[in-house]
Chain A
């Protein structure tokens, strides 16, 4: 399916090089950055190794057996299989590079030195900062979350630390690489020499987790996971769970919402006081939720400007009124897999969404 001819990045040609034997967590970042550009109209050619990008075989899977991960990360791209270990493959690649504006690849790829020296602007995804000199170090997203300090932040203080759901380390890096790519294309467009872009998952995770460094620098003690000692907790309700969240200025509204006279005790008036009496506070708060649904809780809280968060699963998000009203979930007709429903780019541009086109089949 051809791209509409008025998409904002239509004038640019990008190559995503999927060399063999690259850690999957780096590939997810590369593919996400290129997918965003492709949905925005850039012509993206994905160079796959013989046998295909391993993400084609990565979970979660659709009932037909295809990878949902691959289908999400490779929308609106074209694909070409090249054996980059062969001279013929490399020559073919060089011919394609001559016509491209930018090339996306991973640091440990055997082909990386050739790509860094090629005419298009290099957008390079790595696991670690240059300063660590660790291109060959074994890596996983989970290890990156630990290094970046994010793992330390979630869970109970006396139990093991927890990762966040989803591919957060890879995807935050992928979003970053997209912004770096946009900056490089803007420089090229303005007739400047475009900067090369290097994104490491470890740097992105620390940057995202900046409050850990900021807090440690300011107070000498690092912030860390607080679990049941936190002022924000998860409480059960009639049909699931709700995150109790409010700012200092929203406490009076929160107190009025719950309506229990015991909350009027002055020990709960300040944040420090609430934290010192956190178990008692939650003993008072929790029963209010028990017999109410998430929808009832959200309506009552929002009416008072209190930002409680009902917890939704991915399946429940498909029916969320707000997402349906905004058309956030696209119905994409896939030639082999039928209708697929997936999130579109999270922006509306003069009211327009960017409908993804199906990911390419493996050819050759």
Chain B
């Protein structure tokens, strides 16, 4: 990969699930050294959600975790233990960026919030990604993925025409997926400022606001005209003559967008196999595509572009959403086992010796196995 815009930048990554962990993954893709902090008592929930079996080491085999956390090193440090907190504060002095998406107040209570860490390292760029942002009456509200489809406005515009609104659902959790695409660029911008001025920044991201931002023109139009009709529109789109999904002879759905109305389209699709119908429509200059599922995406390597890659164990993981310098990425390290790099990183960055590392292990500050009991 030719783009190493963040070479020399080190990220202290408390990111969990997609919104946080993927922001730091995108920083890793740009050359940053990302060290992910978990603890035996609090794993990234993706390790649990994707639990494949009950055998020893299950916490290291979750596909969702491995998809998202490639190219990072992993540490396990107990953030509730004062000794663990002391190690984190030392690490913060050696890092440029913090990424976290805990519920508001969690890091503050551990003495690891922006105020404490920036006092140690004024250059620190601290990205706090939360459901509602760090201020306001709803700052402590919990949400999970599709909660934000609902509260952001996206759900109100999604659904069959004239029926109830719809969410993207638990296999998409759409609002979680787009946060990192924006937050990463803002973190890079703040890193540029910190390089120049020596001053870091507290970046307060509200996931709900990111989702509502994608409806900017709808919110603007509604503010100017409160009577503007709203609600689910099926697959129709304002300003588009005709647009819908149609079932073809082979039972597959295709998506078609037309500049001129064509009442016979439904019958045309029903009479043709999907691939033939799409070819015929494209040849007429009409935008059309087969409705793919996950297996179709796995098969179509041209369509994949740079979005999927395999790690050294052969596991499929996330690639890039863009192509930099004409290329995608190769995975330099697979998603880390729990606490896989604790000792190596503490030796390398903080100069800890074997006695100190053993002491941390014996007191349970560091670990490589979960202590969360049955899940």
A interface residues (Cβ-Cβ under 8 A, vs B): 8-9, 36, 40, 58-64, 68-69, 71-73, 128-133, 137-155, 159-168, 171-172, 175-187, 189-190, 192-200, 202-204, 206-218, 220-226, 230-232, 234, 236, 241-243, 245-247, 250, 302, 305-318, 321-323, 325-326, 328-329, 340-343, 345-351
**Residue in A151, A213, A216, A322 whose beta carbon sits within 8 Å of that of B291 in the complex:** A151
CB of B350 within 8 A of chain A?
no
In contact, B192 and A68 (Cβ under 8 angstroms): no
Binary CB contact string for chain B from 213 to 254 against chain A (1 if under 8 A, 0 otherwise): 111111111111110101111110111100111110000011
In contact, B308 and A197 (Cβ under 8 angstroms): no
Q: Given A154-B166, A184-B5, A346-B213, does the pair A175, B295 have CB atoms closer than 8 Å?
A: no
- Given A179-B322, A203-B306; 6 other pairs, CB 8 A cutoff: A133-B302, A190-B195, A194-B5, A218-B63, A323-B209, A341-B219
Q: B191: shortest Cβ distance to chain A, in Å?
A: 7
Q: Describe A's contact surface by its main secondary structure.
A: mixed
Q: Given A147-B289, A179-B184, A180-B324, does the pair A202, B303 have CB atoms closer than 8 Å?
A: yes
In contact, B302 and A8 (Cβ under 8 angstroms): no
In contact, B325 and A195 (Cβ under 8 angstroms): yes
In Å, the complex CA distance between A142 and B245 comes to: 9
Q: A360: shortest Cβ distance to chain B, in Å?
A: 16
Contacts of A145 in B (CB 8 A): 255
Number of interface residues of B (CB under 8 A): 145
Task: Tally the A-B contacts, defined by beta carbons under 8 Å.
Answer: 494
Q: Describe B's contact surface by its main secondary structure.
A: mixed
In contact, A143 and B147 (Cβ under 8 angstroms): no
Contacts of A306 in B (CB 8 A): 142
Contacts of B318 in A (CB 8 A): 207, 210
Contacts of A147 in B (CB 8 A): 289-290, 292, 303
Interface hit among B87-95, B129-137, B352-360: B129-137
B interface residues (Cβ-Cβ under 8 A, vs A): 2-6, 26, 30, 50, 52, 63-64, 67, 132-138, 140-160, 164-174, 177-178, 181-186, 188-193, 195-196, 201-206, 208-210, 212-226, 228, 230-235, 237-240, 243-247, 253-257, 282, 285-298, 301-308, 316, 318-326
In Å, the complex CA distance between A58 and B295 comes to: 36
By beta carbon, the residue of chain A nearest B3 is A195
In contact, B157 and A165 (Cβ under 8 angstroms): yes
Contacts of A217 in B (CB 8 A): 63, 294, 298, 316
